[in-house]
Structure 1
Amino acid sequence: MNTKVLIDSRWAGNTGIGRLYQEVMDRKPPHVMDVHIESEMRLGSLYSPFMLGKAIRSSHADVFYSPSFMPPAFSNIPFVITIHDLMHLFYYSSLHKIYYQQVIARLAKKAKKIITVSYHSKQQLTQLLGIDEHLITVIYNGVDKRFAENENRIKLERPYLLYVGNRRKNKNIPAMLRAFAQAKIDKEIIFALSGEPDPILLQEAEHLGIQERIKFLGFIQEETLPQLYKGALVTMYVSLMEGFGLPILESMASRTPVLTSNVSSLPEIAGSGALCVDPFNINEMAEGIKQLVNNNQLRNYYIEEGTKRIDTFQWEHTGIQTWKAILS
């Protein structure tokens, strides 16, 4: 018997959520008939829950699934959503925080199941939003096999440390710049960051005297990302808060050592496969950079441990467990 699943596919695209959506859809069971939300409404629109409710009512679907946090305002069928993190409560405007607490959280409690991507995020959902822990299922993201299979590396004009991600406040990029400037490593080494030049970061680099050692890579094509990780000396991902932290796994799979944080979900995801440091302590971050660049024994230890760690994170498992949550 076929099951009709209405899916909020507006989240498809070149993002972490977009990757999750695609991996889940690639593993859709044969008896599932998928239908999709048809709307050009902004993902973060205040009216999204109402649009979703109307779409559900007219869809005649058996269940609704979203790969992200936006629940319907009303639903006559069971629904499953994925809340990746609670960044809106910490790093967005006060209006975002109120909307998340008073609207999103209340609607989410009506879900059949809430999926989240780490036990840290599950703990936050129960403690900060008061969601029943029995409603929440933790399903880890996976890492694409092409990172481990790739044997090519990009060579920039100089050896480089790498950061891949956006520029939101939780990413802690100014602190990483300060730690990089302080680290006792070869001054030929540069810090390469995804994205276009940023006036604030350029000003910070100039203040630190490292403007010639910073390189902005612009938009990174998906097909070149494995080669970029492979070519780096170290991947820097010393965030203040993450729900998961996919670049950690992508770097581990590429056999490039990772410097990450010892807070939020990051030590949970990294395990023993990355060097975890205090993201609020510039000296500790700088020492971590020095050790991973200069200490070959330590460097090789984290490369080997990281290679073992990625076995825990398989998209096949993510897809199977997600469909189990949707259809059960």
Structure 2
Amino acid sequence: MIKRILIDKRWDGDTGIGKLYREVMARMPVHVVPSFIQVEVGLGNMLTPVILANEIRKTPADVFYSPSFMPPLYSRIPFVLTIHDLMHLFYYTKWHRIYYKQVIARCAAKAKQIITVSHFSKQQLIELLGLPDHLITVIYNGVDENFRENTVAYFSGRPYFLYVGNRRKNKNLLAMLSAFARAVIPDEFMFFLSGETEPALAVHIGKLGIAHRVRFLGYIPEQDLPALYKGAFATLYVSLMEGFGLPVIESMASGTPVITASTSALPEISGGAALCVDPKNVSAITHGIETLVNEKTIYQHYVQLGYHRAAEFSWDKTAMKTWDTILATP
């Protein structure tokens, strides 16, 4: 049976949400007839719920789908959206928190179904936004087969720890850099980070005396990530809060062990296959780094566990469950 789906394509970008969007769209069922939101209003615009409601009013579509948290203010057709996390309640301004609770939560409650990416995020949606359990479906993100199949490793000349992600406060970069500086490991070890440095980071790195051991890699094209993970000694992803944490399973699939946080969704996603440490305890992060460098048996243990854990995630599975949820709407 043909089903017409209106889709908010504005989320297609170089982010975890953009990755989810592209993978789901690439696996669209043949009986789906898509149309797309055409407005160019920025993703963070507070008028987006009104704009989406207006776009829905004009469409002949049967269902509206958004891969992220912005719902329409009202809708004459059923809608499904994915809320990845509740970072806005913790790491943004007071006005973001008010807007999220008073506007986003109330609009989202009208959805036919809300998808989220971990049981941790589902529990937060229930407890912090008051959304009912039955309205929320957990669908894990996937991992690209390129990470598993790649055999090429980035060569740097020196062993390196790797961080892939943005500069937001929840990423805990200052603590990871401090832990790396304190670690009693050979001086040849480097810390590579995606993206560019920022003034506060540069000052912090200077005070730690590790400028010669830290390298910012700039923008990393998606096709270059598998080799970068493959070449790394280990991945550092000790974030304060994540709804999922794609770099964790991407690194595992590449055969590179991970040090991650023992809080938020990260223990759930890593499933015992990563070395989990307290993200608020720099000494704990330092100990994790030293353990992987100095304990070869433990290192190999996490390599093998990671391979097996990453094999449980696939974009085929994610897309199939997402489309099943979207198309289940009457």
Shorter-chain TM range is: over 0.9
The residue number in structure 2 matching 1:210 is 210
Deviation for aligned residue 1:276: 0.2
| TM-score, normalization by structure 2 | 0.98
> In structure 2, how many angstroms separate the alpha carbons of the residues matched to 1:10 and 1:197?
27
Deviation for aligned residue 1:199: 1.4
The residue number in structure 2 matching 1:162 is 162
> In structure 1, how many angstroms separate the alpha carbons of the residues matched to 2:311 and 2:164?
22
- 1:33 is paired with a residue of what secondary structure? strand
> In structure 1, how many angstroms separate the alpha carbons of the residues matched to 2:322 and 2:309?
21
The residue number in structure 2 matching 1:145 is 145
- 2:276 is paired with a residue of what secondary structure? strand
Larger mean CA deviation between 106-115 and 199-208 belongs to 199-208
> In structure 2, how many angstroms separate the alpha carbons of the residues matched to 1:302 and 1:157?
24
Deviation for aligned residue 1:273: 1.1
Deviation for aligned residue 1:66: 0.3
> In structure 1, how many angstroms separate the alpha carbons of the residues matched to 2:104 and 2:20?
21
> In structure 1, how many angstroms separate the alpha carbons of the residues matched to 2:91 and 2:157?
35
Contact (CA 8 Å) 2:65, 2:79: kept in 1 or not? yes
Deviation for aligned residue 1:158: 2.2
The residue number in structure 1 matching 2:134 is 134
The residue number in structure 1 matching 2:220 is 220
Deviation for aligned residue 1:181: 0.6
The residue number in structure 1 matching 2:295 is 295
- 1:307 is paired with a residue of what secondary structure? helix
The residue number in structure 1 matching 2:43 is 43
> In structure 2, how many angstroms separate the alpha carbons of the residues matched to 1:214 and 1:311?
31
Report the number of matched residues: 328
> In structure 2, how many angstroms separate the alpha carbons of the residues matched to 1:118 and 1:45?
26
> In structure 1, how many angstroms separate the alpha carbons of the residues matched to 2:273 and 2:196?
30
Deviation for aligned residue 1:256: 0.4
Is 2:201 aligned against 1:194? Answer: no
- 1:76 is paired with a residue of what secondary structure? coil
* 1:89-104 correspondence to structure 2 within 5 Å: 89-104=89-104
RMSD: 0.7
Deviation for aligned residue 1:209: 1.1
Is 2:177 aligned against 1:177? Answer: yes
The residue number in structure 2 matching 1:270 is 270
The residue number in structure 1 matching 2:315 is 315
Larger mean CA deviation between 292-301 and 123-132 belongs to 292-301
> In structure 2, how many angstroms separate the alpha carbons of the residues matched to 1:149 and 1:270?
20
> In structure 2, how many angstroms separate the alpha carbons of the residues matched to 1:25 and 1:56?
20
- 1:260 is paired with a residue of what secondary structure? strand
> In structure 2, how many angstroms separate the alpha carbons of the residues matched to 1:30 and 1:50?
31
The residue number in structure 2 matching 1:80 is 80
- 2:147 is paired with a residue of what secondary structure? helix
The gaps in structure 2 that reach 5 residues or longer are: none
Deviation for aligned residue 1:167: 0.5
What amino acid is aligned across from residue 27 of structure 2 in structure 1?
A: R
Percentage of matched positions with identical amino acids: 58
What amino acid is aligned across from residue 197 of structure 2 in structure 1?
A: P
Deviation for aligned residue 1:14: 1.7
> In structure 2, how many angstroms separate the alpha carbons of the residues matched to 1:209 and 1:44?
38
The residue number in structure 2 matching 1:121 is 121
Larger mean CA deviation between 5-14 and 134-143 belongs to 5-14
Contact (CA 8 Å) 1:10, 1:37: kept in 2 or not? yes
The gaps in structure 1 that reach 5 residues or longer are: none
> In structure 2, how many angstroms separate the alpha carbons of the residues matched to 1:29 and 1:197?
42
Contact (CA 8 Å) 2:253, 2:311: kept in 1 or not? no
Deviation for aligned residue 1:106: 0.4
- 1:276 is paired with a residue of what secondary structure? strand
- 2:311 is paired with a residue of what secondary structure? helix
- 1:312 is paired with a residue of what secondary structure? coil
Larger mean CA deviation between 205-214 and 137-146 belongs to 205-214
The residue number in structure 2 matching 1:259 is 259
Contact (CA 8 Å) 1:234, 1:293: kept in 2 or not? no
What amino acid is aligned across from residue 306 of structure 1 in structure 2?
A: G
What amino acid is aligned across from residue 210 of structure 2 in structure 1?
A: I
The residue number in structure 2 matching 1:13 is 13
Contact (CA 8 Å) 1:122, 1:136: kept in 2 or not? yes
Contact (CA 8 Å) 1:11, 1:68: kept in 2 or not? yes
| TM-score, normalization by structure 1 | 0.99
Is 2:81 aligned against 1:71? Answer: no
> In structure 1, how many angstroms separate the alpha carbons of the residues matched to 2:317 and 2:197?
38
